Amino acid sequence: MMSHSPLVSVVIPVFNGASFLARAVESVFAQTWTDFEIILVDDGSTDGTPAVLERLAQMPRILCLHQANAGPAQARNVGAQAAKGTYIAFLDCDDIWLPDKLEAQVTILRGTSQPGLVHSHYEVIDPAGKVIQHAKAGQSQDVFHQVFTGGQAPLLSTTIMSRALLEEVGGFDPNLWVSEDTDLILRLYELTTFEWVDQVLVHKFQQVPRDGDDLEAEGSYREKVLRSRERFLTRVQHRSTLNPEQVRALNREWSSYYVMKGALEERQRCWAGARQQYVAAIKKDPFRLRGYTRFLRALRW
């Protein structure tokens, strides 16, 4: 580890990321800004990740931590609590940074405007290496709109923020296995200003499900996802400042949630339960076709 406190702590949570973790770490070492430490947090991986971490732990400026599988939110909290930097940057283990990412963002953080968080554009890359989406940051100043209506809320791998600010907001909600990043962004938006770098600084890789994955484990994960999504949407629902456009956007998200629940009921061959969920989806967003088509399909059983 470093003999002095670095300016930036890079937190990388990993669960079963043996095949791409080294690539993410290499993208950090390729940065033009070199005053950083890397904190890798293994979230109870069951593949070859521990062996990869054992090798990476021999490299300078890397700290490897381990926890029983508790989800990405808790893994990031563990990494942030061990961080020594003034700023914290998060990187998912299957994404990579472009070389000038940290330098461009640190320059803004230390500039005259001194925002609490800086993010950037990013590109989504398919398994063949082809760019399939160019996501532009900052299309809307309303982060709620960005989160729910396709305006591209900050991708966590593009963000860098003050460590003190992250502590002030309470970190990630460890009860969320999905939407934990969106939940954090919405809470940060209430405390600070955001700025973005007008260029692509991150490549987000789209992963393909592997054949032969444990179906029982997949079902358990889907249930965790649904519970997390309901917790997050309920929290947003209770915000007192929602305007009509935001309510409509939130209802669309609720509709998608009920469609997901209906699909899970279908997999379990609970057709009455599936129909009930699809009706709930239709009530939340009567102008969305998907709820109707799923309901009609479930009527056949």
Summarised one tens digit per residue, pLDDT across range 243-294 is 887 788 889 889 999 999 999 999 889 999 999 999 999 999 999 899 999 9
- Tally of CB atoms within 10 A around 240: 4
Q: What is the C-alpha separation between 152 and 173, in angstroms, rounded?
A: 21
Least confident range from 16-25, 97-106, 155-164, 172-181: namely: 172-181
Q: What is the pLDDT of residue 182?
A: 86
By residue count, the chain amounts to 301
What does the pLDDT read at residue 148? 56
The CATH number of the structural domain formed by 8-205 is 3.90.550.10
Task: Give me the pLDDT at residue 253, please.
Answer: 87
Q: Which two tokens stand for residue 96?
A: 């990579």
The answer to whether 87 touches 167, Cβ cutoff 8 Å, is: no
Continuous H helices in the chain? 21-29, 49-56, 72-82, 101-109, 143-148, 163-169, 180-189, 215-237, 244-267, 271-284, 289-298
Tokens at 41, concatenated: 């947090």
Least confident of 144-158, 222-236, 237-251, 266-280: 144-158
pLDDT at residue 146 greater than cutoff 80: no
The rounded distance, in Å, linking the Cα atoms of 125 and 87 is 27
For tokens 């095949």, what's the residue?
Answer: 19
pTM higher than 0.95 = no
- DSSP string across 192-214: S-EEEEEEEEEEEEPPPPPTT--
Give Cα 95 to chain centroid, integer Å: 11
Percent of the chain with pLDDT over 90: 65
Band of pLDDT at residue 149, cut at 50, 70 and 90: very low
Q: How far is CA 141 from CA 71, 129, 145, 174, 196, in A?
A: 30, 31, 8, 28, 11
- For 2-46, the pLDDT digits (tens) are 557 899 999 999 999 999 999 999 999 999 999 999 999 999 999
Report d(CA 129, CA 112) in Å as an integer: 38
Q: Which residues contact 69 (CB under 8 A, 6 or more apart)?
A: 15, 43, 44
Class of domain 215-298: mainly alpha
Domain boundaries, the chain: 8-205, 215-298
Give the pair of three-digit tokens for residue 77: 């909290």
Distance CA 12, CA 142 (A): 28
